[in-house]
Amino acid sequence: MCLDEKTSIQARQGQEPPRPAQVGSPSLQESRYQRRGALNLFAALSVADGKVAGVFRDRKRFVDFQSTIQEMIIPEALGRGVHTVELILDNGTTHAPKQLERWLAHLPLVQQGKLTFHVLWLPTNASWLDQIEIWFSILQRQRLQPNHFESLQALEQAIADFLVYYNQDAKAIKWTYTIEKLEKKLEERKRQQAESTYELIQAKKDQEASLKQQNLAAA
């Protein structure tokens, strides 16, 4: 499961509803609006089938992350008859990297041998590798824009409805960027850096030689 949170999703109510695009005219959204509150969405994407589950929280603390695992991840795992859950996470403070694995190990179901958790930490500054981020982008483009919600409850219901709609035809996400492509790009970057370093060293040598000649000529 790729698990993360989309934080501070605002409910904004424009002074007028958005106007859809028409022939010769783009869609229009009122620039003046009133804030109706904000919420945090904790969501998990199943790598196996692409389905997404989510819960809403007022805050984004470690305790909120813990309750998300207890209320959403564990029931989903038990419902699927899964014994081992692999969590793919970035190093965000909400996930409490120094505490999470210790806390998971002390869960009653884990102590009883009914469930096992493996945590796969993504490299620092590489949260884009988390597939749930792809889904957050889909949610943002397909449902949260334009942002016009009369209340926080309306925003929450819209996201909940989108989850149901999306899961009807959900499919596993397949990476198109291969390891081979990455290695080729890294090799090209190393070559460019080496050439740049060589050029800098050569330019410095040429400058030193030029200064030496000038000093000899002056003497």
pTM: 0.77
Here the contacts of 195-204 (C-beta below 8 Å, separation 24 or greater) are none
Distance of CA 3 to the CA centre of its chain: 9
pLDDT tens-digit series, residues 82-117:
999 999 999 888 998 889 999 999 999 999 999 999
Token pair 């080729």 is found at 184
- End-to-end distance of the chain based on CA atoms, in angstroms? 75
pLDDT tens-digit series, residues 13-40:
776 776 777 787 777 666 766 778 899 9
Using the predicted structure, report yes or no on whether residue 215 has a pLDDT greater than 80: no
- Edge-first strand listing for the sheet containing 116-121: 52-57, 33-45, 2-14, 84-89, 116-121
- Helix (H/G/I), strand (E/B), else coil: 176: coil
DSSP code at position 36: E
The average confidence (pLDDT) of the chain is: 88
Quick check: 122 and 90 in contact, CB under 8 A?
yes
Q: In this structure, what token pair is assigned to residue 46?
A: 């199943």
Distances (CA, A) of 166 to 5, 18, 173, 175: 18, 23, 13, 19
**Alpha helices (H) along the chain:** 62-68, 74-80, 100-105, 108-111, 131-142, 152-168, 179-218
Q: In this structure, what token pair is assigned to residue 84?
A: 């081992």
Q: What is the pLDDT of residue 25?
A: 75
Using the predicted structure, report yes or no on whether residue 60 has a pLDDT greater than 80: yes
Q: Say which amino acid occupies 125.
A: N
Q: What is the pLDDT of residue 22?
A: 74
In this structure, the number of other CB atoms found within 10 A of the CB of residue 95 comes to: 19
Q: Is 50 left (phi over 0), alpha (psi -120 to 50) or beta?
A: left
In this structure, the number of other CB atoms found within 10 A of the CB of residue 62 comes to: 14
CB-based burial, 149-172: b 16+ in 10 Å, e otherwise = beebeebbeebeebbeebeeebee
- β-pair type (116-121, 52-57): unpaired
Q: In this structure, what token pair is assigned to residue 206?
A: 């040429």
| Phi (first) and psi of residue 95, to 5 degrees | -85, -5
